[in-house]
Structure 1
Amino acid sequence: MRYSKEHKQETHARIVRKAAVRLREKGAHGVGVADLMKEAGLTHGGFYAHFESRDALVIEAFAYAMDRSIEHWRKIAEQTAPDKRLAAIVESYLTPAHRDDPGHGCAITSLGAEVARESPKTRKAFAAKVEQLIDLMAEQIPGVPRKAARKQAASLLATMMGTLVLARIAGNGEFSDEILQAGRDVALGRAAKPLPKKPAAKKNAVKTAAARH
């Protein structure tokens, strides 16, 4: 039976969506192609009609999951006052609900360690999405030069993700909640205090003047 182009595109998208959830739940090597195809209602043999290789599916699934995070954060920013956007992103990220639902959460915390051991092509694709997240966060830091804003955003993102990883390791009890709260406190403190501009010109002028004497 021949299927329409639209049907094939819908099937392809369904496989990617299913893979994005399962990969975040079980890891990049915890789910087989046969299992993914079965869950999508397809046979194993139909896989190569949609993807060149398993790596190709993994890259698409990673990208899909990361795009959902970017879309979610952008929506939060659009619905929040400019001076509270960064804090709102932190608050939405470091929650028990996010901790307990890795399949629909941040792909970096679920798959980051594994991606570091994947092919250069996979790492490059993943890194590009991480950079998009950092750029999006940097956009929410007003009155700070872009380079400094990116530096602060990268530091904040690392804090958030490290907190979530530790909280998941600790389970979902009191200790895990304590880790989440500690991470929120630190991250929100950073979100509320943009890095000051460096008075580079003045500093250089002082050094030049001192060198003349």
Structure 2
Amino acid sequence: MRYSKEHKLETHARIVKKASVRLREKGAHGIGVADLMKDAGLTHGGFYAHFDSREALVVEAFAYAMDRSTERWRKLVEQAPPEKRLETIVESYLTPVHRDDPGHGCAIPALSAEIARESPKTRKAFAAKLDQMIDMIAEQIPDLPRKAARQQAMASLATMMGALVLARVAGNGAFSDDILGAGREAVLDRAAATKAGLEKPARKKIAHDAR
């Protein structure tokens, strides 16, 4: 049976979406092509009608997952004042809900260790999406030059990711919750210290001008 172009695109998108969930749950090597296709309601034989290789599907699934995270963050901060936007992202990221649902969460803590061992092509695709995520976070840090905002965004994302990984290792009890809380405090305390460091010279200048 010959399917329309639209049907093929819809099927392709469904495979990528399902695969993005399963890969975050099971890891890049924790599930095979046959199972990924089964999850999408398709046969193994139809795989190569949509992808040149398993690696091609993995790259698309990773990109899809990271795009969804960035899109979710953008929606979260739309209603927040500029000075609260980074805090909004951090508070939504380091939560028990996110910890306990890796399949629908951020792809970085779920898959980055495995990506580091993948081919240069896969690592390059992952790095490009990571760079976009860092830029998005940097945009939520007001009153900092772009380079400084990106540095803070990198540190924030690294701390958030590390805290989430450790919290998942610790399970879902009080110890795990404490790790999430420590991660939130580390990111937000750093942001507050950076802001205070910027404001102090400005206050001194105002005092000097008033004399």
TM-score, normalised to structure 1, is: 0.90
Query: Is 1:87–1:192's contact at 8 Å kept on the other side of the alignment?
Result: no
Q: Deviations over 1:21-64 (max 9, x none)?
A: 00000000001000011111111010000000000000000000
- State the alpha-carbon separation in 2 of the partners of residues 64 and 153 from structure 1: 21
CA shift, 1:194, in A, is: 3.4
Matched residue, 2:96: 96
CA shift, 1:186, in A, is: 1.1
- State the alpha-carbon separation in 2 of the partners of residues 140 and 38 from structure 1: 40
How do 1:60-139 residues align onto structure 2 when only pairs under 5 Å count?
60-139=60-139
Matched residue, 2:208: none
Query: Is 1:138–1:150's contact at 8 Å kept on the other side of the alignment?
Result: yes
Query: Is 1:20–1:62's contact at 8 Å kept on the other side of the alignment?
Result: yes
- State the alpha-carbon separation in 2 of the partners of residues 30 and 103 from structure 1: 13
CA shift, 1:183, in A, is: 0.9
- State the alpha-carbon separation in 2 of the partners of residues 30 and 45 from structure 1: 20
The worse-fitting range, judged by mean Cα deviation, of 133-142 and 84-93 is 133-142
Q: Secondary structure at the match of 2:194?
A: coil
- State the alpha-carbon separation in 2 of the partners of residues 95 and 107 from structure 1: 15
For the pair 1:44 / 2:44, whether they are aligned, the reply is yes
Percent identical among aligned pairs is 76
- State the alpha-carbon separation in 2 of the partners of residues 107 and 158 from structure 1: 13
In structure 2, stretches of 5+ residues that fail to align are 199-211
Matched residue, 1:206: none
What letter corresponds to residue 177 of structure 1 in structure 2?
Answer: D
CA shift, 1:192, in A, is: 3.1
Matched residue, 1:153: 153
Q: Deviations over 1:169-196 (max 9, x none)?
A: 0000111011111111111212334364
- State the alpha-carbon separation in 2 of the partners of residues 143 and 91 from structure 1: 21
Query: Is 1:167–1:180's contact at 8 Å kept on the other side of the alignment?
Result: yes
Matched residue, 1:59: 59
The worse-fitting range, judged by mean Cα deviation, of 12-21 and 141-150 is 141-150
Aligned residue-pair number: 197
